[in-house]
């Protein structure tokens, strides 16, 4: 890929700020709105924040890990950055769109790169009706919550809730219950075109919150989730270190797990 102009952005961590200073000294830096590619220095949380901030004016984003896990980022290296960018691969991510309707009749919208989740707000389990494309699939699910995950987010909250890992190119979504009591159900893999609706039953007694990545809407009655076909985000990865391979590898045990 030919990226002639670069913008560097960094989280507030000391490691990211130190890297920002060094890289700006080594490479020409421009404003993010004028750049061909945005270089993100931080962890997965800061990468998600940057992707959300750039959603209105999307740019290819290349992350370098100055955080902890760094699943969505490349390894940190200050050397040969322009050459690495030229040989890099791009993964296309399509976020989810959430429409949450509260018990006060207020409708709020949000986007999720990882997942949209519905979570109980109190000590009592939530009662949730699940619809797919307008048809009831589960009349009442007693659980702590339920989520819909993108392929990129399938190794995050979805995985910890025992949901399936989904390859990036599959154009599928994961529908995963969270600590479900009844019925005994482990979730489903849906086509990316599916419209998912969650209805909160007994919402006055058993309130629930809807969360789209970092945005939370409390006391919801109904949540609609679809793929945001009008949005398309590009993550840039070093050759041999692409997101597709990493997500595929997460399906198998590591050597240290033996």
Mark whether 44 is an active-site residue. Answer: yes
Smallest Cα–Cα separation from 8: which of 42, 36, 38?
A: 38
Q: If DSSP codes are grouped into helix, strand and coil, which group holds residue 96?
A: strand
Structure-derived torsion over alpha carbons of residues 115, 120, 126, 130, reported in degrees to the nearest 10: -20
Q: What angle do CA 176, 181, 184 make, to 5 degrees?
A: 65
Tokens of 255: 């050597």
Scan for tokens 């830096």, then name that residue.
29
Q: Which of 33, 34, 44, 202 is catalytic?
A: 44
User: Quick one: tokens of 174?
Assistant: 């994961």
Residues linked to residue 175 through DSSP beta bridges, in sequence order: 148, 188
Beta bridge partners of 109: 99
In sequence order, what are the beta bridge partners of 187?
none
- Integer angstrom CA distances of residue 143 from 175, 200, 233: 14, 11, 32
Catalytic residue positions, numbered:
44
């Amino acid at each position: 890929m030919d990226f002639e102009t670069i913008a560097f952005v960094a989280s507030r961590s000391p490691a990211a700020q130190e890297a920002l200073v060094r890289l700006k000294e080594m490479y020409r830096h421009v404003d993010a709105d004028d750049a061909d590619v945005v270089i993100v220095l931080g962890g997965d949380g800061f990468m998600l924040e940057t992707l959300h901030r750039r959603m209105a004016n999307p740019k290819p984003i290349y992350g370098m890990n100055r955080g902890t896990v760094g699943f969505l980022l490349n390894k940190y290296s200050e050397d040969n950055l322009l050459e690495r960018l030229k040989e890099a691969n791009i993964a296309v991510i399509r976020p989810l769109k959430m429409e949450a309707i509260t018990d006060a009749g207020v409708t709020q919208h949000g986007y999720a790169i990882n997942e949209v989740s519905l979570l109980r707000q109190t000590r009592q389990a939530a009662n949730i009706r699940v619809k797919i494309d307008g048809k009831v699939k589960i009349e009442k699910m007693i659980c702590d919550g339920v989520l819909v995950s993108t392929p990129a987010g399938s190794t995050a909250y979805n995985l910890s809730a025992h949901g399936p890992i989904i390859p990036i190119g599959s154009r599928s979504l994961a529908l995963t219950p969270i600590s479900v009591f009844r019925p005994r159900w482990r979730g489903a893999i849906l086509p990316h075109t599916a419209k998912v609706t969650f209805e909160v039953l007994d919402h006055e007694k058993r309130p629930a919150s809807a969360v789209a990545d970092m945005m939370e809407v409390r006391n919801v009655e109904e949540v609609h989730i679809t793929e945001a076909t009008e949005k398309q985000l590009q993550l840039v990865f070093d050759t041999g270190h692409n997101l597709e391979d990493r997500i595929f590898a997460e399906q198998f045990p590591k050597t240290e797990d033996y």
